[in-house]
Structure formats: C-alpha cells, structure tokens
Amino acid sequence: MPILEIQNLTHTYGIGTPFQRSAVEDVSFSVEKGEFLGIIGHTGSGKSTLIQHLNGLLKPTSGQILLEGRDIWAEPKKIRNIRFQVGLVFQYPEYQLFEETVYKDISFGPKNQGKAGEELDHAVREAARLVGLRDEHLEKSPFELSGGQKRRVALAGVLAMEPKVLVLDEPTAGLDPAGRENLMANIREYHRHKNATIILVSHSMDEIAQNVDRILVLKSAHILMGGTPAEVFTRVEELLSAGLDVPQVTRVALALRDRGLPIDSAVYTVEALERQLLALKRGGGPC
Amino acid sequence: MLKDITLGQYFPGNTAAHKLDPRTKILLVVLYITALFTAKSFLAYGLMALVLAVCVRVSKVGLRALVKGLKPVLFIIVFTGVLNLFFTPGEGILWAWGPLHITSSGLRNAAFMVLRIMLLIMGTFLLTYTTSPISLTDGLERLLNGLKRFHVPVHELTMIMSIALRFIPTLIEETDKIMSAQKARGADFESGNLMEKAKALVPILVPLFISAFRRADELATAMECRCYHGGEGRTKLHVLKYGRRDYTALALGVLVLAGVIAMRAFGR
C-alpha cells in the first residue's frame, strides 16, 4: 500500500469571485514508502499549493489525500496529527525561527507533539545530528548562525517530529554551491539511513536528477508527466515547452548526439555520460 | 483568511473620479465629512446619500466592494444603533421594558447615527478605492506643505505613511507564510484560553518583527543607494496641477456643504 495517495485533487482559489482560479486540477499520484520523489514545475504551476495539501494546511476543493490508506480529513479536528506525520519544510524556512536557542527552536515541533523529557531530548539531538549541527550550536541563538546553518536548524525542527513523510520545498534555494551540496548530502543520508519517504520540490534539474527515484512534472495545475529520471529527461522537447530545463549533462549529451555521436541522450548524471563516452572510445568510435 | 483584508485597497480605473487631483479628493472628503456631521434632518441625509451614490456611480467602484468595506465595522454600527435606539431619553415613548425604552427621538437618533457611520465609511473608502497610495500621500504632502514653515517634517511623515501603506500587503503575506510554517510544526492558534492563545502568537510575532526590521534595513540601504536624502530639493515626476475638473468638483462640494448648512439653519 502506498504511504501517501493523492486522488483527483483539485484546489480552486477565490471561488465565486472574478479571480477564481484552479491552482491544482484533478491531480492523482501516489508515493511508496521509502521513495524519494521529486516534483518540478515552473513558477505558478501549482507545486506549492499541491504540497500544502499533503499535511492538511490547505483543504482540497475536491479530491482526497490518503495517508496510509486513511483520508487525512476524516477527522478535521485531528488534522494536527497529520502535520506531525507529514513534515513540511517551507521555502526559506530560516525565517520562521523564533526561539532563544537552537535547541529550543528545534524542540518546538516535538513539544507540540507532546514529547517531553528524555524522549524530547533524544528527538532534538538526533535531528540536529542528522542535519550536521554540532552540540555547541545547540545552545546558541539561531540568529547568530550563518544562513546555511539557520536552514539546517529549521530542517531539524521538522525532522525532530520524526515524520513518516518529509516534504521539502526548494530546500537549497539561496544557498551557495557548497552549502547546497552539503545540505543535499544530509538529506540523502537521512533518506538512506531511515528509509524515509521524501518529496523534494525543486527548480534545479541537476538537484532533482541526482537525488530522486521518480519525478513528477507539473504544468499549469496538471501533471504533465511522471516517471524515473531517465524516462522524464528523454522528453526534452516537452520539458522545454513547459518552461523547464534538463540537467546540464543531458544538454551536453544532446549536443554531442546532434553532432553525430551515437549517444543515448537520456543521461542525467555525469558518471553515466562518462561511461558511454568511454565505451565509445574503446569501441573505436568517432570520439 | 488574512488575504481577504481590504483596507484602503486601490482599484485602478480611468474614470473622472480616478483622474481628479488627489488634493481635490482629500478636500472633498473633508467637505463631505463636515457636511455629514452638520446634517440633522432626513432631507440632509438624503442629500448626502445622493451625493455618495453619484460619486460611486462616477467612480465605477462596485457597490459590493463598498459594502464589503463595511463588514469590519459592522459591530460598531450595530452597537451604536442599539445604544441610541434603547437609551435615548425623550418624550413620546413608543415601547418600554424595564430600563429599556424606545422613543421617537431615539428612533431618529439611531437611524441618523447608523446612516452617518455608514456614509462616513463608504465615503472615505471611495477615496482610497479611487486613489493609489502613492498619489494619496503625494496629495497629502502638498496640502500640508504650509506646515513646513512651522518645522513640521511633512515630507518625512508622508514618506513614512506611503512606506507603511506599501508594506501592508507584504506583511500580510509574510504573516500568512509564517503561520503556515508554524502550523506545519504543530502550532495551535485556535484552542486554549486567552493566555495560551497570546503565547501561541510568539512564534509568529518574533519572526514577523525580525523580517520587518530586515526589510526596513534593506529598504533604507536601497534608498540611500539611490541618493535619497529627504525632501530637500526633491522634485516630482508627476507634478500635481489643478485642472478645470478639480475646480468644478470643489465648487460642487462647497455647494453641497452650503446646502446642508442651509437646511440646518432653516431647520429642515
């Protein structure tokens, strides 16, 4: 059974006003346990609206969201429980920090959950460890930290709730290249060690290509396509027409193929292209 | 939702009301309010309602938007109405029950007060609906220019005002975002007693203040980078100029006020 199932989800803003507009329309997909799913789409394609449904921040206009087979809106009064199970990290989450110390800020979520004492302490320290924060950081004020570290604190604040599904909205936006790679490495490690289910929303094709098992492409409130990175990145034309890009290495492969090299252009990692090129060279091709 | 707040929202348009000089509109609103508070008879209120209706018609602002503006003050309107209805002393008691009584003058008072507040709010809203915040503060600055002689920092005050107006939607959006983010961490803003509810606001207010300060700081730097140094010697891109339309509108405004004063003088 999929851990998360979205059935015919539609969300319409401003019903009955001249500004009525569907941000998400008849979207269905499911996420398996332990899967790393990537969602890409142009600005305004409905990504943010979509993910805010997953933890019940927004209520669908029509359609259902099933978490482990149960409709999350079955008991509207208990929607807070859903938010602990589906952890959502917003864009630029460092702007939501408010406590005096990093430790206290991370413990905000688990405390709301009702954790206390040993259990709380363990959850906070484990989350801090997962995002690579050292013990000495925990007693500092979050406002003394660097941008990248603040973001880690915010991420830890959600991880400390030990959610079953983690949803990340552009977690690396605005970080420098080293900061991006470090943060993604932490997220990958979290995925691997905890067999966690992760949904990653990103603008960066390279980031998506390198990390996820499966990709959903959104275009103007609908799912344009879905599949493994290899499947999605072969449909270059459609991606470009949706205002999206392909990973840089895919573009290199395409350019090489255009110049007559017999290359499978559905590559999205540098290693895969390297293998192909080496094979060509050994085979005595025109390389 | 917070997004639904319409406070002094501007509806762009190209009507005569939009084209009036902002100073004219501010002066007209002053005349209108004076007239409203002078009015003492149904005839006078009728005239004011007619004036408002004509203005609404000219400005092409939907009546629905105007009525929507009344919603936040509905409580005050009802409260004033009820208070005046039941507690006005006077002759000719129509209905009484314990300390409560309705007199004919109470009925009159209540009707007048409710009418007055409604007309007042709709009239002032018409100003902000048809005038962009920028031109509104621009007009205000020019109108208050004379006060500079008394060392009133008119330019600075209007600049503060326009920046504040400009940032209302931004901060509302920001608040919405922060609220969602804290809700995602299980924050609960709905349940609990008053004290707990106040405490629950801390996770919103702290980030909001920090972000407001950050924005102010960034804005100040950006303004300095563009050589802003206060109002001294600053010229305007759009120089305000009264036209024939403005004189006509002002003349009509004065006429209405004179009419209302005359009605009051003759006790009608």
CA distance A96 to chain B (A): 6
- Give the closest of B181, B206, B210 to A90, CB-based: B181
CA distance B126 to chain A (A): 20
CB contact set of A236 (below 8 Å; sequence gap of 6+): A246, A250, A254, A265
- Give the closest of B177, B188, B210 to A90, CB-based: B177
Pairwise CA distance, residues A30 & A28, whole Å? 7
Q: Which two tokens stand for residue B266?
A: 């003759």
Q: SS3 sequence, A87-152? A: EEECCCHHHHCCCCCHHHHHHHHHHHHCCCHHHHHHHHHHHHHHCCCCHHHHCCCHHHCCHHHHHH
The Cβ of residue A214 has, within 10 Å, a number of other Cβ atoms equal to: 18
Instruction: Work out the angle at residue A38's Cα, subtended by the Cα atoms of residues A268 and A6, and round it to the nearest 5 degrees.
Output: 145
Residue B2, chain A, CB below 8 Å: the answer is no
Interface confidence, given as ipTM, is 0.86
Tell me, what's the pLDDT at B1?
46
- Give the closest of B180, B184, B203 to A98, CB-based: B203
Q: Distances in Å between the alpha carbon of A195 and those of A37, A89, A190? A: 13, 18, 8
CA distance B219 to chain A (A): 18
For the whole model, what pTM was predicted?
0.76
Chosen from B185, B191, B201, B215 to mutate, greatest number of chain A CBs within 10 A: B185
CB contact set of A179 (below 8 Å; sequence gap of 6+): A147, A148, A151, A172
CA distance A137 to chain B (A): 20
Cβ within 8 Å, pair A84-B188:
no
Chosen from A54, A97, A98, A108 to mutate, greatest number of chain B CBs within 10 A: A98
- Give the closest of A97, A113, A143 to B186, CB-based: A113
CA distance A109 to chain B (A): 5
Residue A157, chain B, CB below 8 Å: the answer is yes
* Alpha carbon B67 to chain centroid, angstroms: 13
Cβ within 8 Å, pair B186-A112:
yes
Residue B61, chain A, CB below 8 Å: the answer is no
- Give the closest of B178, B186, B188 to A96, CB-based: B178
Residue B188, chain A, CB below 8 Å: the answer is yes
Nearest to A50 by CA among A220, A204, A242, A268: A220
CA distance A113 to chain B (A): 7
The 10s digit of each residue's pLDDT in B75-111 is 888 998 888 888 777 777 777 777 777 778 888 888 8
Pairwise CA distance, residues B231 & B163, whole Å? 15
Cβ within 8 Å, pair B184-A57:
yes
3-state DSSP assignment of residue B103: strand
- Chains A, B: CB pairs < 8 Å: 55
Minimum Cα–Cα distance from B4: chain A residue: A14
Residues 27-56 of A with CB under 8 A from B: 52, 55
Cβ within 8 Å, pair A83-B203:
no
CB contact set of B226 (below 8 Å; sequence gap of 6+): none
Q: What is the pLDDT along chain A (287 residues), one digit of tens a residue?
A: 889 999 999 999 877 777 788 889 999 999 999 999 999 988 888 898 999 999 999 999 999 999 998 999 998 888 889 999 999 999 999 888 999 999 999 999 999 999 999 999 999 999 999 998 988 899 999 988 988 899 999 999 999 999 999 999 999 988 888 888 899 999 999 999 888 999 999 888 888 888 999 999 998 889 999 999 888 888 888 888 888 888 888 888 888 888 888 887 778 888 888 888 888 888 765 55
Tell me, what's the pLDDT at A231?
87
Cβ within 8 Å, pair B187-A52:
no
Minimum Cα–Cα distance from A158: chain B residue: B185
Q: What is the pLDDT along chain B (268 residues), one digit of tens a residue?
A: 455 555 557 778 888 888 889 999 999 999 999 999 988 888 899 999 999 999 988 888 877 778 877 888 888 889 988 888 887 777 777 777 777 777 788 888 888 889 999 999 888 888 888 888 888 888 988 898 888 888 888 888 888 888 888 888 888 889 999 999 999 998 888 777 888 888 888 999 999 999 999 999 999 999 999 988 887 778 888 788 888 999 999 999 999 999 999 988 887 6
3-state DSSP assignment of residue A206: helix
Residue A173, chain B, CB below 8 Å: the answer is no
